[in-house]
Amino acid sequence: MKTARIEHILGIVLLSGVLSSAGFVLAGGAMYVARHGTERAHYRIFRGEPSDLRSLQGVLGDAREFSGRGIILLGLMFLVAVQIIRVGLTCLLFAWNRDRVFVMISLLVLVMLLYGILIEGR
């Protein structure tokens, strides 16, 4: 019963997460295209992103100033964050069922995920 309930919550979190992320991306995209739509696109050459668009603090700062690119990236980072919640909730589900081995397994996945996003990704 509890399993079914957590799976239900997991489904709702995933769906609302991806939809709100898409909402941010759409809003930011509309602003970006409205402001820069007539400029020439330079997507052919890889220059990497400017430093303010590579970190959460930078993106938050840009989004606060209503930069379209900043808001798009905020939506994308939120989508990644939802995946952390996905693993966290699965871990909780195993904990609820007193399934120690699988709590450890999902914690291991969670740690690697956080390592990739927070440590390597800095």
| Nearest C-alpha neighbor of 103 from the set 92, 114, 115, 112 | 92
Q: How many degrees, rounded to 5, is the angle at CA 54 between CA 18 and CA 69?
A: 60
CB of 31 to other proteins, least distance (A): 11
User: What is the sign of the dihedral through the CA atoms of 12, 14, 19 and 24?
Assistant: positive
Residues 35-74 that bind other proteins (CB under 8 A): 36-41, 43-49, 53-55, 68-70, 72-73
Using the rule CB under 8 A, is 2 a contact of other proteins?
A: no
| Site map 70..99 versus other proteins, x via CB under 8 A | x-xx--xx-xx-xxx-xx--x--xx-----
**From 18, 61, 64, 96, residue interacting with other proteins (rule: CB under 8 A):** 18
Which long-range contacts link 11-17 to residues 24+ away (Cβ below 8 Å)?
13/82, 13/85, 13/86, 13/89, 14/82, 14/86, 17/78, 17/79, 17/82, 17/85
**From 1, 57, 98, 120, residue interacting with other proteins (rule: CB under 8 A):** 120
| Nearest C-alpha neighbor of 10 from the set 82, 113, 75, 100 | 82
Chain residues binding other proteins by CB under 8 A are: 7-8, 10-12, 14-15, 17-18, 21-22, 25-26, 28-29, 32-33, 36-41, 43-49, 53-55, 68-70, 72-73, 76-77, 79-80, 82-84, 86-87, 90, 93-94, 101-102, 105-106, 108-109, 112-113, 115-118, 120-122
